[in-house]
Structure 1
Amino acid sequence: MLGISAGAASEAGGRHGANEDRVLAGRSVFAVADGMGGHAAGEVASALAVARLGLLDAEPVLTPDGFRAQLAEANADILASASREPDHRGMGATVAGIGIARVAGTEHWVVFNVGDCRVYRWAKGRLTQLTLDHNEAAEVAQAAVTFRDAAVGVGRRSLVTRSLGSEPASEPDIRVLPTVPGERFLICSDGLCLELPDSVIAETLNAEPDAAAAARALVRAAIAAGGRDDVSAVVVDHRIVAAGTTGEDTQPRHIGTEALR
C-alpha cells in the first residue's frame, strides 16, 4: 500500500511585497504554482491553478489524462478571470507537481509542469530534476548551444515560454513513473532553485527526515541566500504502509500559502 507524508512552506521574496506563489499538499496531488504579472494579479492566477488541481485531488481515481484536462481548465479559468476583471489582464502562472494515478491497474506517479516551477526526485543518494524548465535558457541549453556570456543565460532564464493563462493554451509536460518505496520529491517555485544549487538542495533533503521540516529548511535557505523572488517548496515522501493501516497524512494539509514561523 502506498503511503504519503507531505509538508509545504512558502515565503514572499524581496521582488514584491505580496507572495504570488500558492501550494497544494493534498491526498494524491501535490503542486506549486507561481503567479506572474505583478500588479496584474499573479496571486489570482496561481490560486486558480491550485484550485483546479485541488478539485482533481478530490477525485477517487486519477489518470494522466485527468491532469492534462484540469490544467487546460485552469488555463481557461485564468483567461476568463482576466476577461472579466481589467486589473487581471496579463496575469498568468507557472505550475509543477506530482500526483498518484492508476495506470494499467497499478499506482504510478504523474509528474507535470507548465513553465519553470520544478519537480526533483531524491532517491538512493541522488538528486534528479524530473521536469524541464519552459524558459529560453533551458531551451537553448537543450539545443546544445553554449552561452559565451553567463549573464546572457541568466537574463534569458526569466523569459518563460509556457504558462497558464496563455492563448492558445500551453501544452503541459506530463511524465508517468513507477512508484519506488523510499523516494522523496521536492516541488518548488523558481525562487528556490534560483537561489540554491543542487548540492544544497540534496544536502537538505538528505539531512531532514521530516517532510515539513525539509520544506521549511529549503525555503529558509533560499531566503537567506537572497530571496529575490517568492519561494515555495512541497516535499513528498513515499513510504510503505502495512495493510489495514493508514498513513499519517491522508487528509489534505492545505491549499494556499503557509508563511514560515
Structure 2
Amino acid sequence: MRPSLIVATGSATHPGLRRTLNEDAHLALAPVFVVADGMGGHEAGDRASAAVIAEFSGCVGRPSLELEDVSRALARAREAVEELSTSGDVRAGTTLSGVVVAAVDGMGYWLAVNIGDSRTYRLADGELEQISVDHSVVQELIESGELTVEEAMADRRRNIITRAIGASSTGDADYWLFPAELGDRILVCSDGLTSEVPDARIREILMTVTDPQTASELLVDEAVAAGGRDNITVIVVDAVSVASRPGTLLATDSDIDMDTRPREAAAGGVR
C-alpha cells in the first residue's frame, strides 16, 4: 500500500544575533514536522524544547499519525517539561507548532497542532494562510478590536503568550485536520522568523525558491539580516505525492471539524 502523503522537506535554525544559546528545537522527519521555542532563561528553555522534541521523535518512521498519537506525545511532553521545573529553580516552558502526516480513508491529510506563538502556515494556489492562531496577549487584543495587526507588531506585550507546555500553563493545544493537496507547501517556524520578516516577503520566498532546504535557509538568513533578535527556526514541507481514491473527491476544508474552543484567559501570560 502506498503512503497517503509523501513529502520533501528542509529545515534550518540559527541562534540569532543577540543570544548565545539557541533555545529552539525542531523535528523534520516524516511523519512529524514541529518546532518548539523554549523559554525560562539560560538552559531551561533549551531543555524544555528538547524534551518535547524527544517525545515526538518516537513517532518518526510511521506512515501516518492519528490525533490520539499526537495528544499522547503532547501529554508526555508536558510531564517531562513540568519535571524540569519541579526538579530545579527554573520556570521551564516551550511552545509547539507544526504538522504531522495523517490519513483519512486512505487519503492524505495534514494534522496541525499549536500551543503558544510559534506558527504554521500553508501556501496553496499562491495564497499564504496562517493555519495556527497565536496564543498571545496581542492576538487576544487584535480579536477584541483593541489593536490592529500593524500595532501588534510593535507592541511591547507581543512576546507574552497565554498558553505553553510547562511554565505553569494548563492551556490545551489547538488542532486542525485538513486534506493535503498536491503542491501544498507547509511552513513551520518560531517567532524569531515572523517578528523579523513580514508575511509578504515570506510568501515571496516560498513562491520563488523551489527547493525546501534552500527556502528554509534563505528565510533564516533574512531574519538574521533583519536584526536576528531571537532564535530562528524554519521547516518547509512540500506535498509531492498525495493519495486519493479514484472517483472520490477529497473533502474540502469546510467538511473538517475545526477546534473552536474559547481561549484560556491570559492571566498575566507566560514568557
**TM tier relative to shorter chain:** 0.7 to 0.9
Equivalent in the alignment of 1:30: 33
Deviations 1:67-86 (A, max 9, x none): 122112111100112222x2
Deviates more, 1:31-40 or 1:194-203: 31-40
Equivalent in the alignment of 1:199: 200
CA distance in 2, matches of 1:41, 1:79: 11
- Is 1:235 matched up with 2:240? no
- Alpha-carbon distance change, 49 to 204 in structure 1, aligned in 2, over 3 angstroms: same
Contact 2:11 2:213 (C-alpha < 8 Å) held by counterparts:
yes
Equivalent in the alignment of 1:130: 131
- Alpha-carbon distance change, 232 to 168 in structure 1, aligned in 2, over 3 angstroms: closer
CA distance in 2, matches of 1:94, 1:20: 11
Q: How does 1:134-213 map to 2 (within 5 A)?
A: 134-146=135-147, 150=151, 154-167=155-168, 169-213=170-214
Equivalent in the alignment of 1:12: 15
In the TM superposition, what is the alpha-carbon distance from 1:13 to its structure 2 partner? 1.5
Question: Scaled by the length of structure 1, what TM-score is found?
Answer: 0.86
- Is 1:92 matched up with 2:88? no
User: Which of 1 and 2 has higher RCO (CA within 8 Å, sep 6+)?
Assistant: 1
Consecutive unaligned residues of structure 2, counting only runs of 5 or more, are 244-271
Deviates more, 1:219-228 or 1:104-113: 104-113
Equivalent in the alignment of 2:85: 82
Q: Which amino acid is the alignment partner of residue 34 of structure 1?
A: D
CA distance in 2, matches of 1:175, 1:52: 20
Contact 1:29 1:57 (C-alpha < 8 Å) held by counterparts:
yes
CA distance in 2, matches of 1:98, 1:148: 25
Q: Which amino acid is the alignment partner of residue 142 of structure 2?
A: A
CA distance in 2, matches of 1:223, 1:111: 27
Consecutive unaligned residues of structure 1, counting only runs of 5 or more, are 243-261
Equivalent in the alignment of 2:45: 42
CA distance in 1, matches of 2:123, 2:182: 12
Q: Which amino acid is the alignment partner of residue 65 of structure 1?
A: E
Q: CA RMSD in A?
A: 2.1
Larger fraction in helix = 1
Equivalent in the alignment of 2:269: none
Following TM superposition, the consecutive aligned residue runs of length 4 or more in structure 1 with deviations greater than 4 angstroms are 58-61
State how many pairs are aligned. Answer: 240
- Is 1:73 matched up with 2:76? yes
CA distance in 1, matches of 2:44, 2:142: 31
Contact 2:153 2:195 (C-alpha < 8 Å) held by counterparts:
no
Contact 1:137 1:153 (C-alpha < 8 Å) held by counterparts:
no
CA distance in 1, matches of 2:44, 2:100: 27
Deviates more, 1:232-241 or 1:152-161: 152-161
Equivalent in the alignment of 1:52: 55
